[in-house]
């Protein structure tokens, strides 16, 4: 089945130690998103790529970066994680221009910061 | 700024006890309103998209409706497997397809 795959499912890092989360998709969608979701909170958009065009949300901290080396993969880099960055990180995809605007989500990566 | 407010925050039902979840929204121009289901520790799973006031969509025990200011997710004769958090999101016209989410309603259905 075509899908959005996130690795790892659980990630533990130390305060200030850089961490990278990965996302891959087999849907061949041209848009990829990263959302942050804290416990009992709404998913919050960090940034998205339309093809190679990067779009950052105005309130996304500089500590968060992203890379999309090709259509299938997207990475979230947290340069110096703080305790407040512990959250579920959700990757999603959509197909702009295809007439179907819904987002397809991966299972998420639960990040813990010690 | 686009906003989504969902109520109640949590809802407990007995199996078979029908109810509705509410999603109120403000958006500059609505492109679509989305309902997702989220199980603990997992990503949201798509349920419905609604595009215009008066539109309704159904899937098994769920029916979603839309007005100009809010959407309802009606659950008829729920079963324990319907227990999950239900998220509502809006997509604005113009620009990207990004979704603005509400905090969700956590539904628990007791047998």
Assess whether pLDDT exceeds 80 at residue A98: no
Report the residue of chain A nearest B86, measured CA to CA: A42
The pLDDT tens digits for B44-62 are 999 999 999 999 999 999 9
Strands A64-67 and A53-56: unpaired
Question: Are the Cβ atoms of A45 and B4 closer than 8 angstroms?
Answer: no
In chain A, which residues touch B (CB < 8 A)?
4, 6, 31, 33, 40-45, 48, 50, 55, 88, 90, 92, 94, 96, 101-108, 110
Which chain B residues are within 8 Å of A107, Cβ to Cβ?
41-43
CA A56 → CA A50, A70, B103, distances in Å? 11, 18, 22
Q: Per-residue pLDDT tens for B9-43?
A: 999 999 999 999 999 999 988 999 999 999 998 99
What contacts A58, CB < 8 A, 6 or more positions away?
Answer: none
In tens, the pLDDT along A8-17 reads: 999 999 999 9
8 Å CB contact of B104 and A33: no
């Amino acid at each position: 089945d075509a899908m959005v795959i996130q690795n790892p499912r659980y990630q533990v890092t130390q305060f200030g130690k850089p961490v990278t989360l990965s996302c891959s998709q087999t849907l061949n969608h041209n848009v990829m998103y990263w959302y942050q979701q804290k416990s009992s909170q709404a998913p919050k958009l960090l940034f998205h790529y339309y093809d190679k065009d990067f779009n950052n949300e105005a309130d996304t901290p500089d500590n968060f970066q992203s890379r999309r080396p090709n259509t299938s993969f997207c990475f979230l880099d947290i340069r110096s994680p703080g305790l407040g960055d512990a959250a579920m990180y959700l990757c999603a995809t959509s197909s702009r221009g295809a007439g179907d605007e819904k987002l397809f989500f991966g299972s998420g990566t639960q990040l813990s910061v010690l | 700024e686009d906003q989504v407010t969902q109520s109640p925050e949590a809802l407990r039902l007995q199996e078979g006890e029908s109810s509705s979840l509410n999603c109120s929204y403000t958006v500059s121009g609505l492109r679509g309103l989305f309902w997702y289901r989220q199980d603990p520790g997992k990503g949201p799973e798509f349920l419905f998209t609604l595009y215009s006031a008066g539109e309704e969509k159904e899937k098994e025990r769920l029916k979603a409706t839309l007005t100009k200011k809010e959407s309802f997710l009606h659950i008829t004769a729920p079963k324990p497997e319907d227990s999950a958090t239900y998220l509502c999101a809006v997509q604005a016209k113009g620009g990207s397809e990004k979704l603005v989410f509400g905090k969700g309603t956590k539904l628990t259905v007791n047998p």
